[in-house]
Amino acid sequence: MADIREQAKRIHDRLTGVAPSQALLDAMVADITASNGGANASAGAGHGVAAALRAIDNGDGDEFYSVTLKNMATPWTNRDQTVFAPLNDYTATYIGMVRDELDLREMLYADIIYTANTGNAAVQAANIPAYSNSNNRHYEQFENSGLSFSDPNVLARGTQSSVTGLAAPAGVMTTRGAAKSFFVLGTNRAMFRFTLMSQLCVDLEQVHDITLVPDRIRQDVTRSPGGDSTAFLNGCVGCHNGMDPLTQAFAYYNYNDPDGNPDTDDGSLEYTPGVVQPKYLINEANFTPGYITENDNWANYWREGQNRSLGWDPALSGSGTGAASMGMELAHSEAFAQCQVKKVFNTVCLRDADSTADVNKIDSMVTGFKANGYNLKQVFAETADYCMGE
């Protein structure tokens, strides 16, 4: 069991990755020892919560946002799932939403984006270029400038519809960073799969269910792979029968990559309202009786069968039009809330939940996360409090 000073330092180390100043450490110790849990603590919170919130927002530097959150989110933005990628509009938007204590569910459906405020004197002095739909220089230069992620006058909230001109925004899924990785080439199923992995913490193998109706599976999926129809009936169908009706929400999106090289920083997101992208109609000869995509209407077949366990919101209909409403379907699930809390636990505690106490704590934080307006910053603070004595 660590003493209070060691606990305070542990909180700061886990949240920021750097050691606190003497003055900050003294203030955090005072927070932990205060009989009321500290001025910044929420009702009923552990005494370490106040110290954690101080480390996040009243500390010596910007590392919680520029390092911890950036490194946590970056693997979600690329197919290699590597942390070694520059800041982009996906990661900046996630960081901003956590910083501003917004309803995190909106990251999958709101008209939102965070950019460097080019009207700010510090941003102008750093020569940060304006946001561009065709390159990432705005974010790369912002990251390299050393400017503050924690200052809302520097990293500012805006709307995709005004910043990028996109007519149908859907949170981070329609940022340029996400589109470059997951809407390029292919069939747009990648955007769904990687969003499922990063935001609901499940991959397709975990939602595989061969009992659902296969009527919305596209023509490009052969029903006899390798000449064996049982491979489809016992394998492929279990993913596509649920995935294809949901990915229809992306039918009007594409990423145009002029040189076809994913390693170069060029290209832009394309949205063609009312016109289904050709990628949805490719390889029709694989199974001509298969489903032909005619619009961006989607349906969630996973509301039936084993995947009801993902906890779909009964207040939503389970079907709709376009990416934003489909993103809301995902974000309002129980799986989304559990996933966010588990990712924070792993990041702060540096381990998976491995005891009954851990599981109970995660369950409690999920309940609090939902009751507290899906404010993830509070989850970070509570997790740091829980693990401060390890």
328-376 per-position pLDDT tens digit: 999 999 999 999 999 999 999 999 999 999 999 999 999 999 999 999 9
Q: Which of 167-176, 262-271, 372-381 has the lowest mean pLDDT?
A: 262-271
With cut-offs at 50, 70 and 90, classify the pLDDT of residue 43.
Answer: very low
Cα 336 to the center of its chain, rounded Å: 10
With cut-offs at 50, 70 and 90, classify the pLDDT of residue 134.
Answer: very high
d(CA 307, CA 196): 13
Query: Across residues 154-162, what is the average pLDDT?
Result: 98
What is the average pLDDT score of the chain?
95
Q: Is the pLDDT of residue 221 over 90?
A: yes
Percent of residues, the chain, with pLDDT higher than 70: 96
Residue 151 tokens, joined: 């200052």
> What pLDDT does residue 262 have?
82
CA angle 172, 168, 108 (to 5 degrees): 30
Query: Across residues 206-230, what is the average pLDDT?
Result: 96
For the chain, domain boundaries: 4-61+335-386, 65-163, 187-311
> What pLDDT does residue 2 have?
65
> What pLDDT does residue 296 have?
98
Q: Is the pLDDT of residue 379 over 70?
A: yes
63-117 per-position pLDDT tens digit: 999 999 999 999 999 999 999 999 999 999 999 999 999 999 999 999 999 999 9
> What pLDDT does residue 41 have?
40
Query: Across residues 187-196, what is the average pLDDT?
Result: 98
> What pLDDT does residue 46 have?
66
Q: Is the pLDDT of residue 40 over 90?
A: no
d(CA 152, CA 138): 17
Q: Which of 54-63, 160-169, 304-313 has the lowest mean pLDDT?
A: 54-63
> What pLDDT does residue 37 have?
44
Long-range contacts of 268-271 (CB under 8 A, 24+ apart): 268/133, 268/134, 268/176, 269/133, 269/164, 269/166, 269/174, 269/176, 269/179, 269/183, 271/166, 271/167, 271/168, 271/174
> What pLDDT does residue 91 have?
98
d(CA 204, CA 59): 41
Q: For the CA atoms of 68, 73, 77, 79, what is the dihedral angle to 10 degrees?
A: 90
